[in-house]
């Protein structure tokens, strides 16, 4: 497991996890519950961490570097 990114707010971490999993990359959150219980602990814990498997790390970095995906166009 490698830490891909850290966030001070759990919702931001969930957005990244959703994007990764939507592209077939399993992702896991660490310290989410501690930060949710006491948001002041976020700095002490190093934030909410998004972890991916070692073999998915490079692909996940490429996905992040590609930037946000465009929203679906409305008909």
* All structural domains of the chain: 2-65 (3.30.70)
Residue 72: per-residue pLDDT: 52
Which two structure tokens, joined as six digits, stand for 14? Answer: 């969930």
**Binning pLDDT at 50, 70 and 90, where does residue 70 land?**
low
Q: Which of 4-8, 40-44, 70-74 has the weakest average pLDDT?
A: 70-74
Bigger pLDDT: 73 vs 48: 48
Residue 43: per-residue pLDDT: 83
- pLDDT of 13-59, one tens digit each? 999 999 999 999 999 999 999 888 888 888 888 999 999 999 999 99
Judged on CB neighbours under 10 Å (0-12, 13-18, 19+), 35 is buried
Q: Reduced to 3 states, what is the DSSP secondary structure of residue 72?
A: coil
């Amino acid at each position: 497991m490698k830490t891909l990114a850290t966030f001070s707010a759990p919702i931001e971490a969930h957005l990244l996890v959703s994007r990764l999993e939507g592209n077939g990359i399993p992702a896991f959150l660490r310290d989410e519950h501690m930060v949710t219980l006491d948001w002041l602990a976020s700095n002490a814990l190093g934030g909410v961490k998004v972890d991916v498997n070692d073999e998915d790390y490079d692909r996940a970095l490429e996905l992040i570097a590609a930037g946000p995906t465009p929203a679906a166009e409305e008909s």
